[in-house]
Structure 1
Amino acid sequence: MTADRPVALRTFVDAHKFRGPLPGARLIVLGAVHGNEPCGSIAIERILQELACGELEIIAGQLTLVPVANRLAYERGTRNGDRDLNRNFAPISTPSDNEDFIANELCLLLAEHTVLIDIHSFSWQSSPMVLLGPDSSARDPHPFAFACDEESLAAHLGVSRALYGWLATNMQRAQRRGSSIQYCKGTTDYMRAVGGYGVTLECGQHADPLAPELAYQAIRNALAHLRLIASEAPEPRQEIEFLRVYEVLDRNSTKDRFAREWNSFDRLYLGDAVAYRSDGTVVLSPADGVIVFPNENAEPGTEWFYLAERDPRVRKRRVCSNGK
């Protein structure tokens, strides 16, 4: 009588790990958390090729590359497999859908690292940007100890615009909807919760041929900035526009419509008509600022657009540690 063979558990995430001989930061880079956003995957595959041929060498710390975080969505060419992985990202004790299983594996991976770069793109035309966590000042209701490190990393990624305030804004949305508070949390929020820090890099429109190059250069710059490779880090960008996201509105009906065709970062003034609800109610801008991520194809019950204000403070580049 032969013994039963052990049944291998399915692995949902393909991760490539590289360790240097010296201590240092532990960086993880994710591509295709949303399956129709290929720029991160293309850039990461390019980095993998350079590591394989010896053109690139990790001399300190650890680098983990995940070219395709959401394989099912990637193969379909869709944003999600069964649901949005980046809106309810946390360990699931009883996983039931594609994204549950992925989250369980990615959460273990993230907990092994100190720094995360999650690479994304837009379905609409927009300039590249980096999304940060809470501010480090007492002005923020949930100050973040590594905000300085995030800002320093962001300054080396090659973009000139940074947005923060996402978690607090989406938590307010979840509370209004009576949703689980976990629903608003994504990969970078989880990274901060387990003691590290992370940024979301938005590289432009999905099909923009420049997006993969921006993602690639950002990874190379981050490796140099964190001293994982023996390459001089580029000078940080001195002029970065900081915007604080303070509100998100859902689309309630397919008959809800915008007052005009909006693009991200179009200017708004107090009292401007932003949109009209299906019953004719006008949605007015509550303050001077900009509109962010307007989505005219949003499904009812999902995010329609965000509102942000320009940070009135002058942010000086601060000297930060390079990881933990």
Structure 2
Amino acid sequence: MSEINIPNEYPVELAPPDLSPYKDGNSGIPYVWRFDSGAPGPNVMLSAIVHGNEPCGAIALDRLLKNDTRPESGSLTLAFMNIDAYDAFDPLDPNATRWIDEDFNRVWDIATLEGERDSVELRRAREVRPALAEIDYLLDIHSMQHLAPPLMMSGRHARAKALAAAIGVPERVVGDAGHAAGRRMRDYGPFDDPREKNTALLIECGQHWQASAGDLAEEAAIRFLVATGVLSADALDRFTIPPPPQSAFTVVEAVTIQNEAFVFAQDFSGGEIIAKKGTLLGHDGEIPVVTPEDDLMLVMPSKRLWRGQTAVRLARRDT
């Protein structure tokens, strides 16, 4: 297993569910379940545990499966992704099992998937890739390192922000172009093609192990299924409190680490709005990193501060 030596600052409030009952799947791919309504409609997917230490998505999919959730139109695929990392999860060292060999969410460019490189994550990505072949709408469920406001990451295209608005949660939606270190699953193939209609979102449900992350993952999943027409609006009756109005942002800069040591100037956790251009965020080696304009939101400052990784993204509020 790759060493991820990051101390844990937060209590583990979530109990990762036992996924062994879902091992066989019903799609020909282990841990991937597909249900067809027999009625016309979109093919949609909910995916979880792309990172093995993010149990909120597993909780949401486990609840949907236990409740016999079935599509009323189109088809529904429920996919548990990085099983090996998830099975290695240790609440006494929960940061250590984000992945086994490499980040599962940085391998989704075609050249990498069809190349000669090998890892636990690449083998699993190649195994589950056929399940994505005809998916019209994807919601990939994640969580964050820090206690910070949840985010919906919509990628580069307006159609994804429109879907995020139809879902209605969480309160903040962020358009971005991903990471220099590799392509995410939500940016795979037609999801990031401006000529296509296929649409993917990635939700960050809050800090990895806070209890509310599991509940938000389930609510977002159900709202996604209603927004895409796979479930009727009756599925929302259980949510009696309307969500607050959303705010949309777009990333204007992703700070990619160029040197061996990156140090933040403050203990940022994400969601902070930095009012003044030129505010010091940190140092990349000896190089100061400052905000390039006024009123930028910090998006998911990282603890994985090594060369090639994204230290933080800077997002401007949409007008």
Q: Does 1:271 align with 2:273?
A: no
With normalisation by structure 2, the TM-score equals: 0.78
Contact 2:166 2:227 in 1 (8 A): no
AA at the equivalent of 1:221: R
- Output the CA distance in 1 between the equivalents of 2:232 and 2:283: 55
> Which residue, out of 51, 60, 64, partners 2:77?
64
> Which residue, out of 77, 81, 89, partners 2:100?
81
Q: Does 1:37 align with 2:54?
A: yes
CA offset at residue 82 of structure 1?
Answer: 1.0
Q: 1:43-99: per-residue Cα shift (whole Å, max 9, x none)?
A: 101100111xxxx33221000101x20011112221112111111214324352112
Q: Does 1:114 align with 2:136?
A: yes
Q: 1:100-130: per-residue Cα shift (whole Å, max 9, x none)?
A: 1122123211112111000000111111110
AA at the equivalent of 2:141: I
> Which residue, out of 289, 312, 315, partners 1:305?
312
AA at the equivalent of 2:205: C
1:16-35 equivalence runs, <5 A: 16-35=33-52
CA offset at residue 254 of structure 1?
Answer: 5.7
Q: Does 1:292 align with 2:299?
A: yes
Q: 1:225-249: per-residue Cα shift (whole Å, max 9, x none)?
A: 2222344365986721111112122
Structure number with larger C-alpha Rg: 1
> Which residue, out of 210, 213, 216, partners 1:214?
216
AA at the equivalent of 2:99: N
AA at the equivalent of 2:102: R
Query: Which residue in the other structure is 2:199 paired with?
Result: 197
- Output the CA distance in 2 between the equivalents of 1:59 and 1:227: 8
Query: Which residue in the other structure is 1:14 paired with?
Result: 31
In structure 2, do the counterparts of structure 1 residues 282 and 105 end up closer, same or farther at CA, with 3 Å as the change threshold?
same
In structure 2, do the counterparts of structure 1 residues 277 and 199 end up closer, same or farther at CA, with 3 Å as the change threshold?
closer
In structure 2, do the counterparts of structure 1 residues 150 and 15 end up closer, same or farther at CA, with 3 Å as the change threshold?
farther
Contact 2:261 2:305 in 1 (8 A): no
With normalisation by structure 1, the TM-score equals: 0.77
Q: 1:228-286: per-residue Cα shift (whole Å, max 9, x none)?
A: 2344365986721111112122334564321111121212210111112433x422211
Q: Secondary structure at the match of 2:105?
A: helix
- Output the CA distance in 1 between the equivalents of 2:147 and 2:233: 33
1:98-137 equivalence runs, <5 A: 98-136=120-158
Q: Does 1:152 align with 2:166?
A: no
In structure 2, do the counterparts of structure 1 residues 151 and 237 end up closer, same or farther at CA, with 3 Å as the change threshold?
farther
Query: Which residue in the other structure is 1:226 paired with?
Result: 228
Contact 2:148 2:207 in 1 (8 A): yes
Which 5+ residue runs of structure 1 have no aligned equivalent? 1-10, 137-146, 175-182, 314-324
Which 5+ residue runs of structure 2 have no aligned equivalent? 1-27, 90-96
CA offset at residue 12 of structure 1?
Answer: 7.0
AA at the equivalent of 1:206: H
Contact 2:256 2:309 in 1 (8 A): yes
Q: 1:176-226: per-residue Cα shift (whole Å, max 9, x none)?
A: xxxxxxx53211111515741110011000111011111111111222222
> Which residue, out of 250, 253, 263, partners 1:247?
253
Query: Which residue in the other structure is 2:93 paired with?
Result: none
AA at the equivalent of 1:248: A
Percent identity over the alignment is 27
AA at the equivalent of 1:65: L
Once superposed, what is the RMSD of the aligned Cα atoms? 2.4
Q: 1:150-170: per-residue Cα shift (whole Å, max 9, x none)?
A: 523444252110000224xx4
